[in-house]
Amino acid sequence: MRLTDSHCHLDFPQFEGELPDLIDRAAKAGVHRMVTICTKLRQASQVRAIADAHAPVFWAAGTHPMSAADEPMASVDELVALADHPKMVGIGETGLDYHYTADSKDVQQQSLRIHIEAARRTGLPLIIHARDADEDMATILRDEHRAGAYSCVMHCFSSGRALAEAALELGFYLSMSGIAAFPKSDELRAIFADAPLDRILVETDAPYLAPPPYRGKRNEPAFVAHTAAKGAEVFAITEAEFAAATEANFERLFWKTVADAPPG
């Protein structure tokens, strides 16, 4: 059984000095591939270096919405240039976060639209972070999709049913994190259960949001196996079937991990 951690942050200080061991533990857990996400473009070179140094690791780059007001505004050309790297496979994470940073929502929305245009131009999937901004997020995703199609994953999806349905209607994907395995996440699991299996990914968001039995501890890519086990339960299929489905979904969306040519 093989799994992909579709979203982690291997450049974060919690992992300093132990990436070879971490990647080895992931492999032993069946996690053969991972995407490490750059959240501030000035750190892109460090994140790219991790992917260059480790065969199972790919990377993506963008400006996290919580940093949008504090970082230089990304340009479409800058994001497109980063995508020339053979292991750069996604645009983001970007999005909207009104939980702590609602005061910067105008800047966040501007940044999000720039990232969407970069996703269009490159054909790479957009990686969305959404928190406490469901209505604005759905509106922007729909408006921009009407202006020109792009692909997208709702990373660490934990929003409401309306945003899930909006994303799925646009052909987007929902990514299941450790939150979906928390005991009190029945409503979230119900949202996933009603989604098509061919639109589901799994991730850790490591070092955050470790699933049971590691909840409250530092998360790492190996632990995505526990979230996948819960995903199999949600969809009432075997763990092997869930793993095979999410692998196919990941490779369809993150096409550059298997071939350096546009999808289709």
Helix (H) or strand (E) holding 191: helix 186-193
99 is an annotated ligand-binding site residue: no
Length of the chain: 264
93 is an annotated ligand-binding site residue: yes
7 is an annotated ligand-binding site residue: yes
Angle, CA 131 vertex, CA 233 and CA 205 arms, to 5°: 55
Q: Is 213 exposed, middle or buried (0-12, 13-18, 19+ CB in 10 A)?
A: exposed
Angle, CA 149 vertex, CA 143 and CA 153 arms, to 5°: 85
9 is an annotated ligand-binding site residue: yes
The Cα-based distances of 187 to 169, 192, 194, 223 in angstroms read: 20, 9, 11, 22
Residue 153's DSSP bridge partners are: 127, 173
64 is an annotated ligand-binding site residue: no
The Cα-based distances of 39 to 30, 168, 211, 244 in angstroms read: 26, 25, 22, 29
Residue ranges at the known binding site:
7, 9, 93, 129, 155, 205
Residue ranges at the known binding site for a divalent metal cation:
7, 9, 93, 129, 155, 205
